[in-house]
Amino acid sequence: MVSFKELGLVNTREMFKKAINGGYAIPAFNFNNMEQMQAIIKACAETKSPVILQVSSGARKYANQTLLRYMAQGAVEYAKELGWENPQIALHLDHGNSFELCKSCVDYGFSSVMIDGSALPYEENIELTKKVVEYAHRYDVTVEAELGVLAGVEDEVQAEESHYTKPEEVIDFATRTGCDSLAISIGTSHGAYKFTPEQCTVDPATGRLVPPPLAFDILDAIMEKLPGFPIVLHGSSSVPQEYVDIINTYGGKMPNAVGIPEDQLRKAAKSAVCKINIDSDSRLAFTAAVRKVLAENPGEFDPRKYCGPARDEMERLYKHKIIEVLGSDGKAE
């Protein structure tokens, strides 16, 4: 058993309280490798933004849970080395799908876990979430739950279509489970293809797809039922078209990739939405940079020569999200 406190990490409780009161959101960036972790920490250290480092069960399998934990511990030290005196870094399990997985993460030094019972019938979601909360809270680890289903792939949980969160269920769910935050479904979804072209309109000036707006009426109704309760948005990549264009120019094939417009996320960040999950945008930044370098330098075979520019591009992306979209810069001085 390792406590997250020994690793220099923090849970999400204070982070969320300050974010709701301050009208901004904490970035939750997924990481799977050293370059992503370096880029996240550099961006956060430079902007003094609190951050949630997220690990999916896929990332755990890919990178090894022990390595990821030591990377998170290393992230705290790296942040200090970069001159960030008071790093506010949480290590969070993204889309945990069983009590055993959540327990293992708590025991391994995670400061926050998500139990995603959103695909289960309502009462089973409550039962599972409650069990995770009871265990995690013994160690001061905070718990995110999910109510409502996002379309797309949620790691090992898949759904063909989304089912918006029902505002009439949230009080009962939050009270009976004791969860610390709630992920809701209001029109976001995972991955780089969040809407079909049929669901979008076309901007006549650019010819780009314009997605339908998020269901802010549902968010408002949820906030009315649970005033001041931390709300989480998954599937919040905006799928920057400049990355999609670079990928397509240099041998990729990502037609009709479309995400959530950043102005919608900025609006959400000013409300009780205090955690915004971004993974796909970082994948796009990485892939665009790697494709460009390799296409322009076909003889290159030193991974540092293409992973380096990919890391720089991700750092730019993270800073942009922190400053221009979430507003979390300067909130962890």
Positions in the binding site for ligand 13P (CB under 6 A)? 30, 94-95, 190-191, 234-237, 277-281
For the window 193-232, what string marks contact with Zn ion as x by the rule CB under 5 A? ----------------------------------------
Contacted by 146, from ligand 13P, ligand G3H, Zn ion, none: CB < 5 to 8 Å by type: none
Which of 94/315 has CB closer to Zn ion? Answer: 94
Closest approach of ligand 13P to the CB of residue 302, in Å: 29
Contacted by 59, from ligand G3H, ligand 13P, Zn ion, none: CB < 5 to 8 Å by type: ligand G3H
Q: Nearest 5°: CA angle at 75, between 294 and 301?
A: 15
Using rule CB under 5 A, residue 234 touches Zn ion = yes
Using rule CB under 6 A, residue 30 touches ligand G3H = yes
Tell me which amino acid residue 232 is.
V
Q: Which of 12, 47, 56, 188 binds ligand G3H (CB under 6 A)?
A: 56
Closest approach of ligand 13P to the CB of residue 297, in Å: 29
38 phi and psi angles, rounded to 5 deg: -60, -45
**Which residues are the active-site residues?**
94
Contacted by 315, from ligand G3H, Zn ion, ligand 13P, none: CB < 5 to 8 Å by type: none
Q: Which of 95, 130, 319, 331 binds ligand G3H (CB under 6 A)?
A: 95
> Which window, 51-59, 130-138, 139-147, 253-261, contacts ligand G3H (CB under 6 A)?
51-59
Q: Which of 58, 178, 261, 308 binds ligand G3H (CB under 6 A)?
A: 58
Which of 95/311 has CB closer to ligand 13P? Answer: 95
239 phi and psi angles, rounded to 5 deg: 50, 65
Closest approach of ligand 13P to the CB of residue 277, in Å: 3
Closest approach of Zn ion to the CB of residue 114, in Å: 8
Is residue 148 a contact partner of residue 163, using CB atoms and an 8 Å limit?
A: yes
Q: Three-state DSSP class for 135?
A: helix
Which of 28/223 has CB closer to Zn ion? Answer: 28
Using CA atoms, how far apart are residues 214 and 188, in angstroms rounded to an integer?
7
Q: Indicate the burial class of 310 (C-beta count within 10 angstroms; 0-12, 13-18, 19 or more).
A: buried
Q: Which of 127, 140, 155, 329 binds ligand G3H (CB under 6 A)?
A: 155
181 phi and psi angles, rounded to 5 deg: -155, 160
SS3 helix, strand, coil % of the chain, rounded to 5? Answer: 50, 15, 35
Using rule CB under 6 A, residue 59 touches ligand G3H = yes
Helix ranges restricted to H, 139-207? 170-177
**Which residues make Cβ contacts (< 8 Å) with residue 4, sequence separation at least 6?**
10, 11, 91, 109, 110, 111, 139, 141
Token output for 171: 């009080």
Tell me which amino acid residue 173 is.
F
Please report, for residues 72, 85, 162, the alpha-carbon distance to residue 5 in angstroms, rounded to integers and kept in the order given: 12, 16, 37
Q: Between 170-177 and 122-138, two packed helices, what is the crossing angle to 10 degrees? A: 40
- Nearest residue to Zn ion, using CB? 234
Using CA atoms, how far apart are residues 241 and 245, in angstroms rounded to an integer?
6
Tell how many helices (H) and how many strands (E) occur in the chain. Answer: 12, 12
Using rule CB under 6 A, residue 279 touches ligand G3H = yes
Using rule CB under 6 A, residue 68 touches ligand G3H = no
Using rule CB under 6 A, residue 190 touches ligand G3H = yes
Site residues for Zn ion per CB under 5 A: 234
Site residues for ligand G3H per CB under 6 A: 30, 56, 58-59, 94-95, 154-155, 190, 279
